[in-house]
Amino acid sequence: MCRFESGPGYMKKLILTAAICLGSLCVSAQNILKVRAYFTTEKHIYSDGSWSDWSPWRDTNILIVIDAVKDRITIYSATTQTYDILTDEGESLSDRGDKTRTYVCVDENGARCSIRFVKRTTTTQIYADFNNIVLCYNITSIE
């Protein structure tokens, strides 16, 4: 049976409880990112190991979820890509001022890759680097 309180301290308790609940939602272990466009490059089969040119940007509307509790990055594209984070390689700064954070990951098929978050002055991109392909996603954060 539920008991409803009333009285002078009730409203204060209700506001405090609501503030705690809302605060816990804001301090989330997940970040959700919206992808506006992406492009790819594939490694040539040539003996020199050269890479092809980047594909043209393709418009898209997909989500990327970064789950800090599960150490997992999930990209909800036509085929869902799930990357379990093995190690955090830390952050670096390029000569151009780009900040890069790199994670060594493994995908759902057991393939190792690196996931790089690159923050530039005007854009933020996520790169999934495999031995034979690189995927690049142009993102905006959802708050």
Rounded Cα–Cα distance for residues 128 and 92 (Å): 17
Structure tokens at 40: 């790819």
pLDDT per residue over 115-143, tens digit each? 999 999 888 889 999 988 888 988 876 65
- Look at 118 and 23; give whichever has higher pLDDT: 118
Q: Which residues contact 105 (CB under 8 A, 6 or more apart)?
A: 73, 83, 84, 85, 86, 112, 113, 114, 115
- DSSP letter string over 3-33? ----STTHHHHHHHHHHHHHHHHHS-SEEEE
Picking from 17-21, 63-67, 84-88, 104-108, which range would have the lowest pLDDT averaged per residue? 17-21
Looking at mean pLDDT, say which of 38-47, 100-109, 123-132 comes out highest: 100-109
Global pTM reads 0.71
